[in-house]
Amino acid sequence: MKKILVPTDFSQEAENALKVAAQIARKHGSEIHLLHMLEIPMQDIDAVSAHVEVPEVMFFMKMAHKKFEEIMDSDYLKDITVHEIVKPEASFNNVVEICHEQGANIIIMGSHGASGFKEMFVGSNAEKVVRNSDVPVLVIKNEHDEFSIDDFVFASDFKNDSKETYRQATEFATAFGAQIHLLMVNTAGNFTTTKKANERINAFIEGYSFKNYTVNIYNDNSVEEGILNFSKDIDADLIGISTHGRQGIAHFFNGSISEDLVNHAKRPVITFKI
């Protein structure tokens, strides 16, 4: 986590994410790349690329830089290296492209949930970044005075194509000294016996050196409800889940569970691409 990309619309939700990024950066010696993307009509974007100073575009660019200056003066960013990025385009594909350009290892962003569709980079927009990102995305829902992870739920079907995401999850857990709670959710429509579930999970984690984990099989009406309810039962600090990239769907779910969790989980959610 040497480089952290934080998209911001300067909202409270975005600042919650930046505060978490700052805590992680301070602990791990990381640098932050703070990104703001302007919603500007395409003809104005063409003008910018042609080096023509369009008054409206320049106004919003200057306003963004001013807000960046205010953020940089925040106490919680003191002694942390923060790079300012302002882009005159509003495409969520660009978030991932910029992540690659900057060599960022993780995206940390804010969201205020299922009803939050009004502002940039919150609500459904967080889902779009999750869907497109091939680097881990940590979605923050609330302010965290102290961001610590003791109990980390990793939900999976524990089939072989999820193994890479588990490796990433163990690295994240190790960095925070967290215990991973391996979770398989049983539903009436997709039931696995406890014996077979345990055998599958044990086979899945075989060969990994990470030992700080528990194994859990949980019954519920849906996979999403199971993850949320189990996480509530153990008062988890973080929920982790795999996503199939652009489809945004963990293949063992009959729906976009990664995006649903980003919207409905009160706890932070981190996604890893299969």
Helices 257-264 + 223-233 axis angle, to 10: 40
Which amino acid, one-letter code, is at 129? Answer: V
Return d(Cα 177, Cα 221) in angstroms, integer: 32
Residue 117, both tokens: 């569709």
In a 13 Å sphere around the CA of 140, the CA atoms on its Cβ side amount to 30
The three-state secondary structure class of 177 is coil
Q: What is the pLDDT of residue 64?
A: 81
Task: List Cα–Cα distances, 90 to 101, 121, 126, 224, 268, in angstroms.
Answer: 17, 10, 13, 30, 25
Q: What is the pLDDT along the chain (274 residues), one digit of tens a residue?
A: 899 999 988 889 899 999 999 999 999 999 999 998 776 554 544 544 545 456 666 777 788 888 888 999 999 999 999 999 888 765 666 888 899 999 999 999 988 654 433 333 344 567 778 877 889 999 998 899 999 999 999 999 898 777 889 999 999 999 999 999 999 999 999 899 999 999 999 999 999 999 999 999 999 998 888 999 999 999 999 999 887 644 433 433 334 566 666 666 678 999 998 7
Place of tokens 């003008």: 47
Which pLDDT score is estimated for 62? 82
Task: Characterize the bridge pairing of strands 137-140 and 269-273.
Answer: antiparallel
Q: What is the pLDDT of residue 218?
A: 97
How far is C-alpha 22 from the geometric centre of its chain's CA atoms? 15
Q: What is the pLDDT of residue 140?
A: 92
Amino acid 122: pLDDT: 42
| Paired tokens of 111 | 């969201």
d(CA 65, CA 54) in angstroms, rounded, equals 16
